[in-house]
Structures are given as C-alpha cells and as structure tokens.
Amino acid sequence: MKPRARAVTIVEPALPEAQFEELARRIRALGAERLRSSYQTTFWFDLREPPSNVVEEAAVRLFRALPGSRRRGVIGVEWWLSRMRTSNVKVDFHVDRDNALFDDTGHTVTPVTSSVLYLTSSVGGLLAVTKAKADPTRPACIPDTDEFELVEPRPNRFVYFDAKLTHGVLDARNQVPLARLPVQRRWRIGVAINFWHRRPRRVGTFAESAHYRRLATPAQSA
C-alpha cells in the first residue's frame, strides 16, 4: 500500500533569521491595532511591483519557496495578520475565496495556494486541513470526517496547501472551538498569505491604506 500523499507542505526555517526577527518585531510593535478586525484587514500585493512593507518582502521570498506548479500563473498575494488567543478561536472551518465576489454573485473563486507563516508557537491552536467540505450544521462548521492533517504553529514555520482545501484552527486543548476557555496569555500570531492568479475584488493595497504603518519600508514611511 502506498503512503497517502500529504496535502500540507512545511518549510522551516522559512526566512533568514534576521529577516524573520525584524518581521516579528514589527508585527509585535503593532500592539492591539485593528486586533478585533485582523481578519477583515486584508491587502493586495502585486508580485511584479516592489514590496511596500516587511510582510510583502517576506511574501516575495516565500513565493520563491513554492514549487513551480504553484508559482505558475500567480501574479500577486492577498495577506492579513492572524492574531488570536486559542482560548477564544473565532474562525470557523472554511475555504479561502474571493469574499467580495462571493457576496456580489454567489460564485466561489479560490486562490491557487493558501499559506501561513507562523511567528509564534501557541498553546493548542493546531491548524487542521482536510479535503472534506465545511459543514454549517456542525460546531465551527467542522467537516464530518476524521481525516485531517494537523500542523503545530512554530516560529518561522511556513505551511502551504491547495486553496480548495478546508481548514480551521483548533482551540487551546486542540479540540473543536465550542466556547471560550480560561484565557491564554500567549498569542497565536501568523501572517496568512494567499497566492492568487487574479486580484480579489475590493482588496486594496497597503500603500492605499492608513493601517499598520509600522510595517512600512523606509520609502513608504517617509
């Protein structure tokens, strides 16, 4: 019997140490800026343009870490900060998509590749990825299957997978998030980076935004 091919690829260390430490320092320096709307604060970066911030500098290097089959046709990335306590996971199981297009038309278009660069470890908070579909009738929309690939967050660990796969985050006990648990002081922090063949609707660029200016490169912050 052939072993089942893994759906999730792990690259570590993902970035050179100095680059990773600078990225992590800048993101920590944001403090609570837009913490409650981290997942709604997304940016578009055209890979044919120069990076405007430290996240986009990292995205350029991470793009090069993808195999040729995953780079083909990709023109840019959509990125956002993933910041949570695993005692209060608010993200249901889902498939990444062009959310504005879905809202406008009901049509689902996914990126080529979904990925996360982790900046911290965490208490619990495993990433769970599966081929099964999200089930809105179940808690946290978790699919009705026991076939998951589980990935532990670790600093400078980059994980990527086909964007058509369902994924979500387990709680501090590595169980399906059902309710708040006793507060975890440690934050689970990462950068979500979706690699796209087209620009998602109504996703602006970092340069057009007034948010997260501590992440800007010197040319942008001048």
Beta-carbon contacts of 172 under 8 Å, excluding residues fewer than 6 positions away, are 85, 86, 87, 123, 124, 125, 181, 184
Q: Domains in the chain, please, with CATH?
A: 12-208 (2.60.120.10)
Beta-carbon contacts of 140 under 8 Å, excluding residues fewer than 6 positions away, are 89, 92, 93, 168, 176, 177, 178
User: Tell me: the pLDDT tens digits for 104-159?
Assistant: 999 999 999 999 999 999 999 999 999 999 999 999 999 999 999 999 999 999 99
Q: Tokens 């430490």 sit at which residue?
A: 21
* Percent of the chain surpassing pLDDT 70: 96
Q: What is the pLDDT of residue 185?
A: 85
Token pair belonging to 173: 């006990």
User: Tell me: the pLDDT tens digits for 29-68?
Assistant: 999 999 999 999 999 999 999 999 999 999 999 999 999 9
Token pair belonging to 124: 């619990």
Rounded CA-CA distance 129/131 in Å is 7
